[in-house]
Structure 1
Amino acid sequence: MNCRLSIKDKIHWIGVNDRETTLFENYWPLEKGVAYNSYLINDEKVAIIDTVKFNKTTEYLEKIKEIIGDKPVDYLVVNHMEPDHSGSMLALLGTYPDMKIVGNKKTFPFIEGFYGITRNYMEVVEGDIIDLGFHKLTFYMTPMVHWPETMMTYETTSKVLFSMDAFGGFGALDGGIFDDEINYEFYEDETRRYYSNIVAKYSAMVQRSLKKLAGLDIQIVAPTHGPIWRSNPGEIIGLYDKWSRYEAEKGVVIVYGSMYGNTAKMADFLARIIAENGIKDVKVFDASKTHPSYILSEIWKYKAAVIGSCAYNTKVFSSVETVLAKLSNSSLKDRYVSVFGNKSWSGGGVSGINAFVDEIGWERIGESIEATYSPKDAEFKALTELGEAIAAKLHETYPEEN
């Protein structure tokens, strides 16, 4: 069976799909599941690149046995120690007790801390080579993409980059495991959601790693989540380069929190004004109904964000406050932002968002707009002017798309 999952030259995909787990890291929704990708090189020496989450260990070991039979596993390369990729390490070591565990000096404290394993360590540093026979593995340290111990492994014969979490995304692999076997629109959205919520805070380190890898002839990108890029690896590398440089597309994300519909009314009115002024990509989210991971992904995609909140016990509405906290932690730069909201007997919603804007340092478009009790003619006039200003700014920023 696994001959159908050969990547190239005795390199096999031995990953698994997880459609049972509902929340990745017990927080991020997995509406379409997730894949844990692991790889096996069946050469004179056998090497496995990363493992899979503990809930799929039995299936995983069966795949290995099917390919190598009674041969031993000589090396387990640990590019990343998060338990969704190292969770089967104990079982693998129990099955292959002489297997060397390959990592860098930052890897081994994680292994001991998570699993109590203290033997069979093989430390590698930048540029070290492990000769498997026909295949040769070279190691590149990529710290904080997105944990301290992360590294990538490059197979020099087949020119495959095993990139751990980098270049990966959410979504189970439904039959197609390669980029040329899938409709990538869904996976691009889920890869951006993965990047913006999990990796994005370390965008500077992503840029540093991309520069380090720039001289390699990468013909296949094999991440630990999502599809394997064999036809157009430059596509996913280019997307990571774009996202880590905070580049954005022409569009607006409006996110709001509303208790009784008044702030929602302002959001819908503003969206219509922006659309009337020629902006086709306008996304409106009720923060109480949409998980912040999807909102953050869209804000990472588009250039302008408009954030609205009712006052809630003198503060920003709780669901909007969560979005602001995630945005602040993501360290996203180079966005336009506008603020609106509603109050009745006290304020706090708009002023709280303004404090966030001051902190994050995005370029503000227009003055804050805050209605009292409900929006009236004065607020709708101000929202009209704001919508026109947002559209004009985007047309100015993206003149080639006008």
Structure 2
Amino acid sequence: MCCWSARLNNSAEIFLVFLRLGLTSFGGPVAHLGYFREEFVRRRAWLDEHAYADLVALCQFLPGPASSQVGAGIGLLRGGLPGALAAFLGFTLPSAILLVLFALGVSHAGAQLDSGWLHGLKVVAVAVVAQALWGMGRTLTPDLPRAALAIAAALVATLLPSASGQIGAIVLGGAIGWTCLRATPALPAPSLPVRISRRAGACLLALFLLLLAGLPMLAAGSDSYAVRLFAGFYRAGALVFGGGHVILPLLQSQVVPAGWVSNDAFLAGYGAAQAVPGPLSTFAAYLGAISTQSPSGWTGAAIALGAIFLPALLLVMGALPFWDSVRRHTGVRHALLGVNAAVVGLLLAAFYHPVWTSAILDGGDVVLALAAFLLLVAGKWPPWLVVALTALTAGWLQPALSSSL
């Protein structure tokens, strides 16, 4: 009885700490990793610098939202599987609930979806994706071979505007990286202390692969929208590298052509997602809630949210026991260079369509998007403030600006 009470108290502590972070962690995945280090390495000493660096390296290597995976990994190391679940829920629920409430408001607005402030959310999405493209391009494509690979991936994604084209670009990037690119040698950090067996890890990885292969077949033979929704969002969460912004093309190709969500509503929600704390992938909750199909609302949000994060959680918990061996393999590091370059290409393709083509309608939109980009990149303004300012400007001032151009 005392053992169960101690575990419950431990999980409750983990949940409350991550809930506070979920309510206050603005700034995207890089900022989240900084908040985690301050909280769990320096302040609480739940793990040391080497263990934290090793966990971050693993989550950068895996597909899925890196900051959420790091949080789940910290929860796992602190409190086992219940701790991982507590960390995930605490960090994810605040932004998910806010975005569902926004989706319900947009649904009630109906024909007002083209109003000025909602159009401003689509315009600010241009600036946010451009900022992500700028930062990722400088880091992940610093030389000519990787820049060329990014352009090739963008062409593949543009010519094959579907999930298969995007997955093909990532696979192509990994294959070219494995055979042609070379990683800078680095001395590995000490092994991460893991409290999960290799057998349990193998079972979790097998479940990840089983769902990845089986869900599309199940969805193809089912008339249930809930099954198709879960399968589509699971695939998006399982195959995206590079964080929340890069998941944009996968989600757009999943929900917009199928008619589940209009392109205007998609971009408005993406803009709103920049204004809330926590992981950007909670954008999935918005899409599930605003869907034109049933179930939508809170039920659709829960299905989409669970589906998009489930592969990330299975991967980080399943890979932890094997990470020390995998990270020392030179070919794996080479392949990751190519995958990261392809990710930049996918984001470049998404920046043009649908983000730019759907949001930039006239000269006033160009001016507004450029101003938002400069505030983010040069001014270092917080994204939530830039989102709010852009939406207000589009609603009140931009019509006058457009008419004068």
TM-score (ref. length: structure 1)? 0.26
Higher helix share: 2
Which has more radius of gyration? 1
More RCO (CA 8 Å, sep 6+): 2
Higher strand share: 1
TM-score (ref. length: structure 2)? 0.26
